[in-house]
Amino acid sequence: MTGSEPIPASRQPAWSALVDQARQAASTTLTGRFAADPARGERMVAEACGIYLDYSKNLMGEDTLGLLVALANQSGLRQRIDAMFAGEKINVSEGRAVLHVALRAPRSASIVVDGADVVPEVHSVLDRMAQFTDAVRSGAWRGHTGEPLTNVVNIGIGGSDLGPAMAYEALKAYSDRGRVFRFVSNVDGAELTEATRDLDPARTLFVVCSKSWHTEETLTNANSAREWLVAGLGGDDRAVARHFVAVSTNAEGVGAFGIDTANMFGFWDWVGGRYSYDSAVGLTLMLAIGVDQFDQMLAGLHAIDEHFRTAPFEANLPVLLGLLSVWYNDFLGAQTQAVLPYSRYLWRLPAYLQQLEMESNGKRVDLAGRPVDYPTAPIIWGQPGTNGQHAFYQLLHQGTRLVPADLIGFWNPVEAQGHSHDLDHHHDLLTANMFAQAEALAFGRDASTLSGRGIPNWQVPHRVCPGNRPTTSILLDRLTPESLGKLIALYEHKVFTEGALWGIDSFDQWGVELGKILADDIEPELECPSEDRLGHDSSTNALIRRYRRARPQ
Ligand code: F6P
């Protein structure tokens, strides 16, 4: 190890103090903490940029938070934030800058990478996206046969799907309801079939998103979509030019596929796929919600960027979330983290956050390539409340595992459209459930509160809820393009904070390579009718042979 290599997080002075804190935490309950400090629920909150964060129902005291902040300082979080915003190549294993914050920087800003200011480039692509969006939405851009394009199918996978799909679902109430928007990611042919089966090719636009333009699933789906389109429009290949646009960093690949690069919207290698939904990868979203609302979303993202960059760690919302995560993950032994949005519109958020967190921080070596001796990313999972309450919350209340949960809600509902009745009371009920769950999880129900209710003694243990189950409540005013932007930036920087403390590269994803390489080897073997020699392990060989026998030749 050379002198310039970072000190592992577990050797920082605050780490061992936190290990001691964790031992003490085991002897204190949330009930005890709130009894000893009745104002805890008003004090252990942070509010900024219209986000209210209540972290009082976590298994920690303010002293623990102080130590976590010390760990952040010792781990160089401040320097790492400054390095990201300055365009330094903090993605060390790929030698790249990490500048999703530049995607929402105002025109007046300047961020220099390799001697060039990237902000004008960002705005030039946003301007082209805006022109295209206006042309499609106004009907000025028409299909090959002169029809307006009222159906939009996004083809992409991973970051080229989850972000725009999540945001489209989140902002559906703000979208053009006269158009159909679909998302195709899985290479399973069922997905393209279902997405196109009732669409008129003459009115359908495909937005093919792939940062690399090498992703097999996306290129396979895009090829099949092209065949579907051309066949549906009388076999004329020239139709592709009006019905296909590309979002990529790879102009050569896009051209080779047959999409005119004039219809390509670019982005840059300093935008990670999972951090890209507000780049040109958001074109389908912009087509859905229009230019102004897309801009409002960018403003929301930027507001949190500035907060993250400047606020002291104790009052910094993404930092607080990141520190809580490190606390549970590394000191209290939690293996998973639930994300429970009390909003139907946020139903894709847990899936989006799975990639954001697990592809970013699912790493086993530090920046210097040394194996880490502490757990990194938790497993992220979740579903919207109240549906989850009638499914897996049982485990949260009475199971044997520690599962910290983020509960996300809104003070006000999205204005209902197309419904003749006032549904405001639904929002009260929804929010009552969110608050009630946090309360029940924290304080539970002990045997004494069950006595005198005619409950047989033998049943009492089954009905006891031990409580002491941690939640963080996150509330915003209303789900809008701007508040969605804030929420997403909150989690992006939470993930950054964790990665900085763990001393890992949150911006590469080498682990996904191996499976892709093996799939490339196996695909021709599946299609080969002969009993060719197979060079895999005996299990994989047997699966391949069985598949060959099961498939009609
Ligand atoms: O799964 C690996 C990955 O590279 C993700 O990081 C990325 O979001 C996804 O594949 C899609 O990549 P591309 O946009 O290059 O097609």
> Which of 96, 155, 157 for mutating ligand 1's site (highest number of atoms within 8 Å of CB)?
157
Cβ atoms < 10 Å from Cβ of 22: 18
Task: Output the pLDDT for position 420.
Answer: 66
CA distance 211 to 198: 29
pLDDT tens, residue by residue, 258-284: 999 999 999 999 999 999 999 999 999
Q: Whose CA is nearest to atom 3 of ligand 1?
A: 158
Q: What is the model's pLDDT at position 329?
A: 98
Residues with CB under 6 A from ligand 1: 157-160, 210-212, 215, 218, 273-274, 359, 509, 512
Torsion of CA 445, 446, 447, 451, to 10 degrees: -50
Q: Which atom of ligand 1 is the closest one to the Cα of 218?
A: 16
Write out pLDDT tens, residues 163-193. Answer: 999 999 999 999 999 999 999 999 999 999 9
Is the Cβ–Cβ distance between 324 and 392 less than 8 Å? no
Q: Which of 5, 47, 439, 516 is catalytic?
A: 516
Distance (Å) from CA 92 to ligand 1 centroid:
18
Residue 516 designated active-site = yes
Residue 359 falls in the annotated catalytic set: yes
Say what the pTM is: 0.97
Q: Is pLDDT at 531 greater than 80 in this prediction? A: no
Contact between residue 155 and residue 206 where contact means Cβ atoms under 8 Å apart: yes
Q: How far is CA 527 from CA 191, 498, 514, in A?
A: 21, 44, 21
Residue 416 has pLDDT above 80, yes or no: no
Chain position carrying tokens 């103090």 = 17
- Please state the rounded mean pLDDT for residues 3-12: 81
Over residues 421-476, the pLDDT tens digits come to 778 899 999 999 999 999 999 999 999 998 888 899 999 999 999 999 999 999 99
| Ligand 1 atom index nearest CA of 281 | 14
- CATH 3.40.50.10490 describes domain 114-292: yes
Number of CB atoms found within 10 A of residue 262's CB: 8
Ligand 1 centroid to Cα of residue 109, in Å, is 29
Taking CA atoms only, the protein residue closest to ligand 1 atom 10 is: 158
> H or E segment at 410?
strand 405-410
Question: Cα(273) to centroid of ligand 1, in Å?
Answer: 6
Ligand 1 midpoint to CA 89 (Å):
20
Burial of 63 (0-12, 13-18, 19+ CB in 10 A): exposed
Closest CA to ligand 1's atom 5: 158
DSSP label at 61?
A: -
CATH class label, 9-74+311-502: alpha beta
Q: Find out whether 405 and 396 touch, Cβ atoms under 8 Å.
A: yes
Reported as a pLDDT band with limits 50, 70 and 90, residue 3 is: very low
| β-strand pairing of 112-113 with 116-117 | antiparallel
Atom of ligand 1 nearest to the CA of 209: 14
How far is 519 from 525, CA to CA, in rounded Å?
Answer: 10
Residue 384's nearest CA partner among 407, 413, 362 is 407
Give nearest CA residue, ligand 1 atom 9. Answer: 158
Task: Summarize the confidence of residues 383-389 as an average pLDDT.
Answer: 95
**Average pLDDT of span 470-485:** 98
Instruction: Output the CA 360–ligand 1 centroid distance in Å.
Output: 12
Residue range 358-376: average pLDDT? 97
Tens digits of residue pLDDT in 186-218:
999 999 999 999 999 999 999 999 999 999 999
Contacts for 453 with CB less than 8 Å, ≥ 6 apart: none
pLDDT, tens digit, 9 for 90 and up, residues 105-157: 999 999 999 999 999 999 999 999 999 999 999 999 999 999 999 999 999 99
Average pLDDT over residues 55-75: 97
pLDDT of amino acid 485 = 98
Which atom of ligand 1 is found nearest the CA of 212? 15
Annotated catalytic residue within 217, 357, 359, 482: 359
